[in-house]
Amino acid sequence: MKITNIRTSILKAPLKNPFITSLRRVDSLEDLVLIVECDDGSVGYGEGAPTPVITGETMGSMIAAIEYIKPFILGLEIEDFNTILNNIHTRILKNTTAKSALEIALYDLKAKSSKQPLYKLLGGTQTKFRTDITISMGEIEKMISDSLDAVKLGYDTLKIKIGDNPQKDVERIIAIHDALDENITLRLDANQGWTAKESVTLLHALEKQDIIAEFIEQPVSADDIDGLKYIKERVQTPLLADESIFSVKDARRLLEMQAIDYVNIKLAKTAGITQAIELADVSKEFGVKCMIGCMLEGPISVAAGVHVASAKADVITMLDLDAVSLLASHPVNTSIVFNESEIILSENVGLGVTF
């Protein structure tokens, strides 16, 4: 299977509701899709969401990165997989989402060449998963209403977006907690909106109300490593790092410092599947569990995340892969079942998606 062409397309789809965090507001999906073609007619699909406030990439920069990498890949055989990966990751630095989209398409092709689903190629066996759903930041009554609606749809784990106003954040969480049954799990995500001292104060206020979330995600800025350790040493609520971890090196540093409880893996940050798997392995080495998340992506990228979750199910015990459920329409054909909180992988070869 020789790579003969790499094309790009734009995937657009409206969201059911605006996606609002302390960092951004998104009203509709607009992702880059990669289509990698081989001489035997095989096609691999990849996807990436431009997220300038997190990865620094725009749609234009992603397309430019792909065009730059393209000459170093065309003409290579998919069987020479390691050479292809090396060219992706050494010919240009950073550009993690663009690289991830390309890696996803290549892994799709590699699994198709071996005539098996990607999760099996990666050594996975699990096919059924449950994901949380994101409750966007907003006024308290709206967040309560959205939370109750999510529970009615079958979600038992809600990820609450906060981080724009510390005092209001506490009020939001208490109000949502009190409106829900005890069997509903809350995850909190401040998206770098608090300082370390604010984080401790706010989490103590919640803990005094017997509200201990499954975790607090990235409460401080991505580069505030000491802040993460400061928080972890002072609260009961487990601490999950997201924007602070792009690479295995980032994770190892935090884990060696004992600065976090959990690791959030996102393909758009790890530059694809290869390092995501390495990140899970490093986390396992330290006895730390992982969550796999997404960047408000469509079915192609989310499917890749689920396949990785299967491959590393012993370490990746939490899923935040709700992006497909947030879409008002599904512009991609998939054999994977996205049924609100439940995701089921298929036996179709590759990713199980077509475009």
User: Active-site residue numbers?
Assistant: 161, 266
Task: Pick the closest to residue 21 from 273, 315, 218 (CA basis).
Answer: 218
The answer for residues whose C-beta is within 8 angstroms of residue 179's C-beta and 6 or more apart is 144, 147, 148
